[in-house]
């Protein structure tokens, strides 16, 4: 069987994403021609078990070896289990799981076998989205900005806005939707803001045996340790001019900074660090956005959202305020990018990853 993807017209694409916060696999349908969004479709979620999370977590920061192989098996099996229950896709965008990211030295590693997925599902699969960007001098991340540009135009937004994704790592996309193509000069600026949920999740797992600080309940009872916060903000990353990106564990010393604090104070301080990183990031925006649209798990944390509102000079609202699904936005992004890759369109550009020229990443595997 050799299914081809139509060169023009609308495509029913299915995207799948597993982020560094390790909650599970998201999958979502999108109808697009690779430029315009026509409709959002159904979505599904498959959580990782505690054992599966542990297997993947053991492989973080590694580039090869038995831990990486074990993580790859978990990632492939979990994705296959979820995607087998979703019919009607003409193409699948399969991001896989990032285990290591060092674009300036060793490259970037996402485990997940897209060729095997295409054979198992009998559907073309687009995967390995980041390698081409890194090979051309880019950071390889973030990759959702081209989709954010399409979302802003879909929502009828005219003035510049910012999309803030708070997953394991935070990333910001400044979008001017009046510029018609995402790769055009002035359309986008995107970069990682700093750690988001990952250090707090790791703290909660280590100290309380739970995956995350639900609704910010623990942080709400704590006090921010300002000395630790100041040390965090002295990190040279924040002064670096974007585009720039981070590995999940680049700020591992954050947890060391709060190691002597009570559980509640540590949670409050790590939450404040996430918000402070975003406030620093806003200094790099070409203009102040009309509003910040928050996506990812962090938007469910009212303590974090209140800290963002206190620290930023523009409204901060969840992306649901413009009719989007903040839990599925990244999965939808890889559905969108899959169609762009299949049709030879760029997926990143100098303003989003610092790559030398607009480039289309991704490998297309047909069943």
Q: How far is CA 67 from CA 71, 85, 170, in A?
A: 6, 28, 26
- 95-135 confidence digits (pLDDT tens): 999 999 988 888 999 999 999 999 999 999 999 999 999 99
Name residue, tokens 């990018």. 337
Token couple for 60:
């973080």
At 156, give phi and psi (nearest 5°). 75, 20
Token couple for 71:
């993580």
- 128-140 confidence digits (pLDDT tens): 999 999 999 999 9
For Cα atoms 62, 357, 168, give the angle at the middle one, nearest 5 degrees: 35
Instruction: Name residues of the chain where pLDDT drops below 70.
Output: 1-4
> Average pLDDT, whole number, for the chain?
95
Distance between CA atoms of 197 and 266, rounded to whole angstroms? 13
235 Cβ neighbours under 8 A, 6+ residues apart = 251
Domains in the chain, start-ordered, CATH in brackets? 11-139+337-348+359-365 (3.30.420.40), 145-322 (3.30.420.40)
- pLDDT score for 3: 62
Instruction: Tell me the residue ranges of DSSP E strands in 277-356.
Output: 292-295, 316-318
Q: Is the pTM of this model over 0.75?
A: yes
- pLDDT score for 1: 37
Distance between CA atoms of 122 and 241, rounded to whole angstroms? 44
């Amino acid at each position: 069987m050799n299914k081809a993807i139509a060169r023009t017209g609308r495509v029913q694409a299915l995207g799948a994403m597993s982020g560094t916060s390790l909650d599970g696999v998201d999958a979502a349908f999108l109808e697009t021609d690779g430029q315009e969004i026509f409709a959002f479709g159904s979505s599904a979620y498959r959580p990782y078990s505690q054992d599966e999370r542990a297997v993947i977590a053991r492989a973080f920061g590694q580039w090869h070896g038995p831990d990486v192989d074990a993580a790859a098996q978990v990632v492939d099996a979990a994705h296959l289990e979820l995607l087998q229950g979703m019919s009607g896709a003409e193409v699948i965008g399969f991001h896989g799981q990032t285990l290591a990211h060092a674009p300036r030295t060793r490259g970037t590693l996402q485990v997940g076998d897209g060729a095997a997925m295409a054979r198992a599902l009998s559907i073309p699969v687009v995967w390995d989205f980041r390698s081409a960007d890194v090979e051309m001098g880019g950071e390889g991340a973030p990759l959702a900005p081209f989709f954010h540009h399409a979302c802003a135009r879909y929502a009828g937004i005219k003035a510049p806005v910012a999309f803030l994704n708070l997953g394991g790592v935070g990333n910001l996309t400044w979008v001017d939707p009046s510029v018609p193509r995402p790769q055009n000069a002035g359309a986008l600026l995107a970069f990682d803001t700093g750690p988001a949920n990952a250090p707090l999740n790791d703290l909660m797992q280590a100290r309380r045996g739970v995956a995350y600080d639900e609704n910010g309940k623990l942080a709400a009872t704590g006090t921010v340790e300002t000395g630790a916060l100041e040390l965090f903000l002295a990190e040279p990353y924040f002064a670096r001019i974007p585009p720039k990106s981070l590995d999940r564990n680049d700020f591992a010393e954050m947890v060391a900074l709060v190691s002597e604090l009570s559980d509640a104070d540590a949670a409050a301080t790590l939450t404040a660090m996430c918000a402070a990183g975003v406030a620093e990031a806003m200094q790099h925006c070409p203009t102040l956005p009309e509003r910040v649209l928050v996506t990812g798990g962090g938007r469910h944390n009212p303590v974090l959202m209140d800290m963002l509102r206190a620290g930023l000079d523009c409204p901060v609202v969840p992306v649901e305020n413009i009719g989007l699904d903040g839990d599925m936005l990244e999965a939808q992004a890889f559905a969108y990018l899959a169609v762009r890759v299949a049709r030879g369109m760029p997926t990143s550009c100098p303003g989003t990853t610092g790559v030398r020229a607009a480039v289309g990443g991704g490998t297309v595997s047909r069943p």
